[in-house]
Amino acid sequence: MSHYPPKNIPANERLIFALDVPDAETALSLIDQLGDSVQFYKLGLELFLSGAYFELVTELKQRGKKIFADLKLFDVPATVAAAVRQLDKHQVDFCTVHGQDAMLKAAADAARHTQVLAVTALTSLDQGDLDDLGFQCDARTLVLSRARRALQLGCAGVISSGLEAEALRQHIDHQLLVICPGIRPVANDDDQKRTVSVAQAFALGADHIVVGRPIRDATNPAAAANTMQQQIQSIFQ
């Protein structure tokens, strides 16, 4: 377990399943299969564009689940604030903003129920990608800078690779929520480049992990999720 003081988060809510599927039928089938093995769901752009997003949000809420709206809002501050207010109406628990200070502050100021998470550096980016994008620093420096500003602006937390989680814990106020995507139980060769395992993520200071393909593509998704939940329970017991 991490040597940083744990937050009061139920262990079975530390695993967030990325419901990255193309339509409501597939989503509902997976939700039924997963049952009690998953309590927290991330719904992203693919489902948003399917036309069934808020119907699924309502269905999950009726089942007592938590919702992470991963829409990476990026627009003029007033529009971002208006979008957050809409998500608030649906009792979404987390939402992501992928913008500069004014956008993050507008989102945080608009939020009531929903907790705003700032995207630091996508886990699909490596140092070569950051160089190409014109960042004159390494990923760790970029993540720390964005996280520090996000907390000052009123955001609840950040999305960060597990590789930067330890630095966040060492240098940023512990109240910051750290949510780590790109979790891979084994070595991978997909588009996620800055990955860590379940145990590594929590040892480095993650509060939540986001897992998609290792559960979704498993022969038995519920069994895969339960294996991770058992591992998390053993870490935080």
What pLDDT tens digit does each residue of the chain (237 aa) get?
444 556 889 999 999 999 999 999 999 999 999 999 999 999 999 999 999 999 999 999 999 999 999 999 999 999 999 999 999 999 999 999 988 899 999 999 999 999 999 987 554 445 554 444 455 556 667 778 888 989 999 999 999 888 888 888 888 878 899 999 988 765 445 444 446 889 999 999 999 999 999 999 999 999 999 999 999 999 998
Determine, yes or no, domain membership for 172. Answer: yes
Q: Which CATH number fits the domain that encloses residue 180?
A: 3.20.20.70
42 is catalytic: no
Show the domain range for 151: 11-236
Predicted pLDDT at 5? 57
Please give the structure tokens belonging to residue 187: 């070595």
Here the tokens at position 193 are: 């480049």
Nearest-5° angle of CA 173, CA 94, CA 19?
125
Residue 4 lies in a domain: no
Distance between CA atoms of residues 142 and 162, nearest Å: 14
Structure tokens at 178: 């750290």
Going by C-alpha positions, the residue among 48, 56, 11 that lies closest to residue 31 is: 56
Selected catalytic residue, list 61, 65, 66, 72: 72
C-alpha span between 94 and 108 (Å, rounded): 11
Q: Quick one: pLDDT at residue 191? A: 43
| 224 found inside a domain | yes
Do the domain assignments include residue 57? yes
State pTM to two decimals: 0.88
Specify burial of residue 227 (Cβ count, 10 A radius: 0-12, 13-18, 19+).
Answer: middle
Question: CB under 8 Å, gap of 24 or more: what pairs does 148-152 form?
Answer: 148/172, 149/101, 149/104, 149/118, 150/104, 150/118, 150/120, 150/176, 151/175, 151/176
Q: Is there a domain that residue 2 lies in?
A: no
The number of domains in the chain is: 1
Task: Please report whether residue 6 resides in a domain.
Answer: no
Which is nearest to 169 in space by CA: 137, 143, 135, 197?
A: 143
What residues are paired with 15 via a beta bridge? 209
